[in-house]
Chains A and B, each alone.
Chain A
């Protein structure tokens, strides 16, 4: 399972980052997220710690993230 990103659909809402940090630290933060939305370029990157759990996909409202099985 791999996460595929579609930056053109990303609105920069950063819900994915919030969901990711909460999943792994039980607290919300931007710095602890394993997915990084770079603004104002709207690029989407994953850190080496990302284990493709898919939480970010689950929380994206805009279809900018997708699980490829």
Chain B
């Protein structure tokens, strides 16, 4: 049976043996694991059984069945591997920009890359024509130049590329999509680097079919009306996430911004081309947040720093977290730094970005991440969970002291402290109960469950379980999970769209159960690698209860974790 939405093929590339082959996507696998995120997660749990830099550790890049259609913001791609940061079977999700739809149009729902090329290589995919090409000229280049050179050589198409940080196996290096969108955190860039894989290029000239066009057109027409009539759509388009986080004055931003850039089919593109003093950068203005919060008051310097970090392919949160820890160790006499770490100085930050990327001096140690630094110094770093810096904490890099689903999600997420999957209205402070009720209904919960979650304040653990299910649905279909997008979707609508596009008829409840199964599978695959331990410093005048504002105790958080797993149907003998 030919499914709509899916291309029906998985591409396999073994870089060691220079072997390329295709396998048919089993429709039963598609149905059980939904698509995109879910299918890639299943393949990763089956195939990622080696050490992180073992050539057998796969990089699995895939996209959902709605990608390639014109469902708004259906553009996402996910890359799974065993992560260098903590050894977890994990993933980086990225806005697909033009890569994900091109992969689909080339005829693949996913690409599974294993082995290690003898020399720097690029995988070039043009429909059935797949080649492992020499990338010697690109090795040593930053992500920007890499993409420009590839486009110059191969023409239009999507690119996933690494910078020098990935080449040098920095354990918190990322890959970038079309030089704009990050595939992070956890070190996927380093896994690509260990394979001598500089980039993947794809151009597809094929098609995506819809199983039930009439139903699809009706659903999309309603969705389009909802987006067009939403009063803030224009403002989101104009300012993006700066609407909520005015890091740069609006007039300044509009002056330096030369263009908004969007992923395929996205109504609220959040990437920018920025011109600062004649130098043009492709980035997202939101990336200015961390440098500004950490002390770099001059936005022009912050732009330069974020552009440099992006070009190397460094995870900014881990970069800041590690430098903060290293500076503390230096002060304690437990680490010798050859130059001061000054968060207010562009030169200091650029120096450390270079030292880490090229693994020079103390930068070589920092490039190994928190686990190594903790082991060498005998000091426990603050706010580190599963080998990575939690980035929403009361003290930065993203400063926030109310404990909601994103904050708890940093502990229980099987891959480590990520926040994308744990979204809910707790993202904003002091939201009225009614906004939770509305959100929970969209996530597919019935009234009895909503009452249970909203009894006794907000049961954050239970709520997070449904945030993870909701994220898994969106990610598996290929829809962006950002609040500005997912507000237009519901579990009911997702089930309808999925059924119309693929021809696999599912109800809201079935879709939620399958998504829960995917998340549980990822948790079970990571029992040995990652423990859910809240950092001690979170309880030293740190996080506060979302509703009452009272300080949280370790016991409070442990109770939330227990409730989370009860709701997930996993007990772990607690």
Interface mask (B45-76 → A, CB under 8 Å = 1, otherwise 0): 00000000000000000000000111010000
Whether A28 pairs with B227 at a CB distance below 8 angstroms is no
Whether B260 pairs with A62 at a CB distance below 8 angstroms is yes
8 smallest CB-CB distances across A and B, nearest first, come from: A11-B262, A27-B207, A13-B262, A31-B205, A18-B70, A29-B207, A11-B269, A61-B267
Whether A13 pairs with B208 at a CB distance below 8 angstroms is no
Interface mask (A1-38 → B, CB under 8 Å = 1, otherwise 0): 00000001001111100110110011111111000001
B112 at interface by CB-CB < 8 Å: no
Q: Which residues of B sit under 8 angstroms from A25, Cβ to Cβ? A: 207
Which residue of chain A has its CB nearest to the CB of B213?
A26
Whether A19 pairs with B207 at a CB distance below 8 angstroms is no
Whether B105 pairs with A31 at a CB distance below 8 angstroms is yes
Which residue of chain B has its CB nearest to the CB of A21?
B207
- A39-B98, A62-B260 given as contacts; is B70 within 8 A of A27 (CB)? no
Which residue of chain A has its CB nearest to the CB of B158?
A39
- A40-B151, A61-B237 given as contacts; is B70 within 8 A of A28 (CB)? yes
Whether B261 pairs with A18 at a CB distance below 8 angstroms is no
B266 at interface by CB-CB < 8 Å: yes
B263 at interface by CB-CB < 8 Å: yes
B381 CB, min distance to chain A CBs, angstroms = 39
Give complex CA distance A39, B98 in Å. Answer: 9
Which residue of chain A has its CB nearest to the CB of B97?
A12
Which residue of chain A has its CB nearest to the CB of B271?
A11
Which residues of A line the B interface, CB within 8 A?
8, 11-15, 18-19, 21-22, 25-32, 38-40, 42, 59, 61-62
- Contact count A vs B, C-beta below 8 Å: 79
Q: Which residues of A sit under 8 angstroms from B268, Cβ to Cβ? A: 61
Q: Which residues of B sit under 8 angstroms from A61, Cβ to Cβ? A: 72, 227, 233, 237, 262, 266-268
Whether B209 pairs with A27 at a CB distance below 8 angstroms is yes
Interface mask (B549-571 → A, CB under 8 Å = 1, otherwise 0): 00000000000000000000000
B193 at interface by CB-CB < 8 Å: no
Q: Which residues of A sit under 8 angstroms from B98, Cβ to Cβ? A: 12, 14, 39
| Residue from A25, A32, A39 having most chain B Cβ neighbours under 10 A | A39
Q: Which residues of B sit under 8 angstroms from A13, Cβ to Cβ? A: 262-266, 269
Q: Which residues of B sit under 8 angstroms from A21, Cβ to Cβ? A: 207
Give complex CA distance A25, B213 in Å. Answer: 12
- A13-B262, A29-B105, A32-B207 given as contacts; is B156 within 8 A of A38 (CB)? yes
Give complex CA distance A61, B227 in Å. Answer: 9
Query: Which of the residues A22, A28, A39, A62 comes within 8 Å of B156, measured between beta carbons?
Result: A39
Query: Which of the residues A11, A14, A28 comes within 8 Å of B207, measured between beta carbons?
Result: A28
Give complex CA distance A27, B264 in Å. Answer: 16
Give complex CA distance A25, B265 in Å. Answer: 19
Q: Which residues of B sit under 8 angstroms from A29, Cβ to Cβ? A: 105, 205-208
A67 CB, min distance to chain B CBs, angstroms = 16
Give complex CA distance A42, B262 in Å. Answer: 12
Query: Considering the complex, which residues of chain B in the window 215-235 have a beta carbon less than 8 Å from any beta carbon of chain A?
Result: 224, 227, 233
Query: Which of the residues B69, B227, B237 comes within 8 Å of A62, measured between beta carbons?
Result: B237
Q: Which residues of B sit under 8 angstroms from A15, Cβ to Cβ? A: 70, 72, 264-265
Give complex CA distance A58, B262 in Å. Answer: 18
Whether B156 pairs with A8 at a CB distance below 8 angstroms is no
| Residue from A18, A30, A62 having most chain B Cβ neighbours under 10 A | A30
Which residue of chain A has its CB nearest to the CB of B282?
A40
Which residue of chain B has its CB nearest to the CB of A13?
B262
B101 at interface by CB-CB < 8 Å: yes
Q: Which residues of A sit under 8 angstroms from B261, Cβ to Cβ? A: 11-12
